[in-house]
């Protein structure tokens, strides 16, 4: 019996969407570039553009003037080579295998060398222009200062000499000045074309921290690692969710798992198609809110995997199928939820239509 062609129908609409303010993203990059003074601002676009979609944000940032893009994994870099000059893409984790080094050589992507072993791997593949990460105290990735004399390191052709600040969001932390001093020592030891130390928070520590290239990440996407950035950064990511049910409950009725909320009076409530499987974690239980026309509609009871219940008392006109914005301004959302601004962005799940 011949197989029949499946009937062509429209794809079902998403019940979650992530509205990305493209103008705000570009404005944030331009603001951070200005704050970088004589240095140029690059852009960290790892973790799929901090959860917003790297293939969407990279062209927007490039159009705004950005020319240096930083990812963590090689597959992240491979996904971007058709969008910008590969020579402007740097892979922070460095060449972990000979295949990584061969891929970098073939495409022109810059590996960020983090150890003498990676340096040897790169040189054995034929070498070429690369970056170098120097560990000045975060003890994560990077070459410790005593190892900068290793012959594999001295044999590199280095574009950007990087280090990474451990506590830049705390402007008074003495660790910042210690790391600055060590990075400056490394710059005197290692020949290189450009130096880079500052992440988003580091940019507002002052000119000495800027080098030639800054590497903002969180602030590009509307995050504020410290208050000094508040006048310069605006919200980019606006999660939105659809109402899937509206109902009345009587006084004393409980809502959600383990009955953590009981209605003090008769209430009109709504169920939203959003839960911890989407990155709206249980930390929001009884704390979060949806927004509609300037009204705050609190979360009631526990967030579950696919659903969250909210109070509709202030929005009697809302009905099933209507859209609500999730209260998600990052600095405020972090204070309310106890999650970091980085987690809030990168945990937004695949069911959001971006």
Residue 104 φ then ψ, to 5°:
-60, -45
Contacts of residue 95, Cβ cutoff 8 Å, sequence gap at least 6: 101, 104, 111, 113, 118, 121, 122, 125
Please answer whether residues 66 and 89 qualify as being in contact, where contact means their C-beta atoms are separated by less than 8 angstroms.
no
Name the catalytic one among 221, 257, 328, 342.
257
Name the catalytic one among 46, 209, 221, 276.
46
257 is catalytic: yes
Determine the Cα–Cα distance for residues 67 and 85; give it in Å rounded to an integer. 8
Determine the Cα–Cα distance for residues 295 and 124; give it in Å rounded to an integer. 61
Which residues on neighbouring strands pair with residue 151, listed in sequence order? none
Buried b (16+ CB within 10 A) or exposed e, 169-207: beeeeeebeebbebbbebbeebebebbbbbbbbbbbbee
Question: Which residue numbers are catalytic?
Answer: 46, 257
């Amino acid at each position: 019996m011949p197989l029949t062609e499946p009937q062509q129908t429209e794809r079902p609409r998403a019940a979650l969407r992530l509205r990305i303010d493209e103008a705000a993203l570009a404005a944030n990059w331009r603001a951070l570039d200005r704050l970088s003074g004589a240095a140029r601002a690059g852009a960290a676009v790892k973790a799929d553009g901090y959860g917003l979609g790297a293939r969407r944000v990279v062209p927007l940032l490039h159009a705004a003037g950005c020319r240096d893009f930083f990812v963590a994994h090689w597959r992240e870099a491979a996904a971007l080579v058709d969008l910008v000059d590969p020579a402007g893409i740097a892979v922070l984790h460095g060449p972990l295998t000979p295949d990584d080094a061969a891929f970098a050589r073939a495409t022109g992507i810059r590996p960020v060398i983090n150890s003498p072993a990676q340096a040897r791997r790169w040189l054995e593949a034929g070498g070429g222009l690369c970056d170098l990460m120097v560990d000045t105290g975060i003890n994560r990735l990077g070459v410790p200062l005593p190892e900068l004399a290793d012959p594999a390191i001295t044999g590199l052709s280095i574009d950007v000499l990087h280090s990474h600040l451990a506590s830049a969001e705390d402007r008074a932390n003495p660790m910042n000045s210690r790391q600055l001093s060590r990075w400056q020592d490394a710059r005197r030891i290692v020949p290189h074309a450009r130096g880079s130390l500052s992440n988003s928070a580091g940019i507002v520590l002052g000119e000495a921290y800027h080098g030639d290239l800054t590497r903002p990440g969180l602030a590009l996407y509307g995050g504020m690692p410290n208050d000094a950035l508040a006048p310069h950064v605006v919200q980019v990511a606006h999660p939105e969710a659809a109402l899937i049910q509206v109902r009345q409950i009587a006084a004393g009725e409980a809502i959600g798992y383990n009955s953590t909320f009981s209605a003090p009076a008769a209430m009109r409530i709504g169920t939203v198609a959003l839960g911890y499987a989407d990155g709206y974690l249980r930390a929001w239980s009884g704390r979060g809110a949806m927004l509609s026309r300037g009204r705050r509609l609190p979360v009631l009871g526990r967030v579950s995997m696919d659903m969250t219940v909210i109070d509709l008392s202030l929005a009697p006109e809302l009905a099933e199928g209507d859209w609500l914005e999730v209260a998600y301004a990052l600095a405020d959302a972090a204070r309310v939820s106890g999650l970091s601004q980085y987690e809030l962005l990168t945990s937004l799940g695949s069911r959001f239509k971006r």
